Amino acid sequence: MNEVTPAIVLGGTGYVAGELLRLIAGHPQLEVAAILSDSQPGAPVAGAFAHLRSTYPDLKFSDLDAIEALIRNSPRCALFSAAPHGVAAAIIDRLLTASAAARTRVHCVDISADFRYSNAAAYEAVYKHPHGAPARIHEFICAVPEHLQKSPTPHVAHPGCFATATLLASVPLLALGLTDTRLFVTGITGSTGSGRKPVEGTHHPHRHSDLYSYGALSHRHVPEIIACAKLATGVEPELNFVPHSGPFARGIHVTVQASLKKSIGTPQALDALKSYYKDCPFVHVSDTAPRVKDVATSNYANLSAVTNGNSIAVMSVVDNLNKGAAGGAIQWMNRLLGFAETAGLTAPAPGWT
């Protein structure tokens, strides 16, 4: 299928929206048709994303009315939502309603948290506000692409960046029955994971040459990770998660530790991971410890593992903006639209970010 599908990006000037624009620019079957910014309609996109000026010299931000009109008049659209949680659901609902009324075809991948839960009550328990479109929840499923080969719903909620890295390391352990269900997770994320708006946690003098934890054992994404792990394996783990802020811009490093049910050596553990991901083009399992720089800016995930007889540690690295957000979303959209799963996503990491 060589037909070019118009892509719409919600999320204004945020880092993930910018990453979506960058990746779509290199996609053979997607073309940016509009990007939403209700606060800056008509402003040049290059003003917010100077690194994309050569690719989008004339593209301007659109308001929601213009995007709704585009959806009504386009036979098929790819809708990517990088709008904030608590905001995304209502916007998506409006656009999907317009598509249904006009009898056009729209597939949506939401990168916010709004459709990651199976019901509104679960979402509201974590985010402490009403869900923006509870009647739409059943139209979305939340999963890492590697753990669900085909979406049973017309739209997908992409797990967060910490969730992606953690699930890639954890799901094989649970699915293969290698470990107890009690998992201990340490994760370190780059500053872009906190979004574009400057706050103390991302302010360079605070973060440079430093490392510190936050939300220890109480991070809001823990319920999302547990739900995705159960969907992928049928097993509900106990997750003990301690996230950290790292002194770099892009990337996530996660270590998952668990007790083995049966003693196995490191070579056997690596073989199990390699076999589990043998048909997954974006997941590489190596005998050596993975490094953030080897995947930063790419859609690839690198894993490794070691055992000491009784315990296993699985290390996982991904790029938070790409594999953990925009790239994973495009990977899902490729499937929803019948494209090759790898389309537009095979560029390697530069290695010296």
152 domain-assigned? no
Q: Give CA–CA dist 279/274, Å, rounded.
A: 9
Whether residues 127 and 209 share a domain: the answer is no
Can you give the pLDDT of all 353 residues of the chain as single tens digits? 468 999 999 998 999 999 999 999 999 999 999 999 988 899 999 999 999 999 999 999 999 999 999 999 999 999 999 999 999 999 999 999 999 999 999 999 999 999 999 999 999 999 999 999 999 999 999 999 999 999 999 999 999 999 999 999 999 999 999 999 999 999 999 998 877 776 777 777 888 899 999 999 999 999 999 999 999 999 999 999 999 999 999 999 999 999 999 999 999 999 999 999 999 999 999 999 999 999 999 999 999 999 998 999 999 999 999 999 999 999 999 999 999 999 999 999 999 87
Q: Give CA–CA dist 74/161, Å, rounded.
A: 31
103 domain-assigned? yes
Catalytic option among 108, 161, 228, 280: 161
Specify the CATH number for the domain of residue 134: 3.40.50.720
Segments forming the whole domain that contains residue 264: 161-319
Whether residues 302 and 225 share a domain: the answer is yes
Whether residues 122 and 43 share a domain: the answer is yes
Whether residues 123 and 171 share a domain: the answer is no
148 domain-assigned? no
Q: What is the number of domains present in the chain?
A: 2
200 domain-assigned? yes
Sign of CA dihedral 140, 141, 145, 149: negative
Whether residues 207 and 296 share a domain: the answer is yes
132 domain-assigned? yes
Specify the CATH number for the domain of residue 171: 3.30.360.10
Would you call 142 a catalytic residue per the annotation? no
Whether residues 137 and 195 share a domain: the answer is no
Rg over alpha carbons for the chain, rounded to the nearest Å, is 20
For the whole model, what pTM was predicted?
0.96
Whether residues 110 and 177 share a domain: the answer is no
Q: Give CA–CA dist 227/231, Å, rounded.
A: 6
Whether residues 129 and 35 share a domain: the answer is yes
Whether residues 218 and 303 share a domain: the answer is yes
Q: Give CA–CA dist 264/274, Å, rounded.
A: 15
150 domain-assigned? no
Q: Give CA–CA dist 243/184, Å, rounded.
A: 11
Whether residues 94 and 41 share a domain: the answer is yes
Whether residues 93 and 184 share a domain: the answer is no
Whether residues 171 and 118 share a domain: the answer is no
326 domain-assigned? no
Q: Give CA–CA dist 274/286, Å, rounded.
A: 8
188 domain-assigned? yes
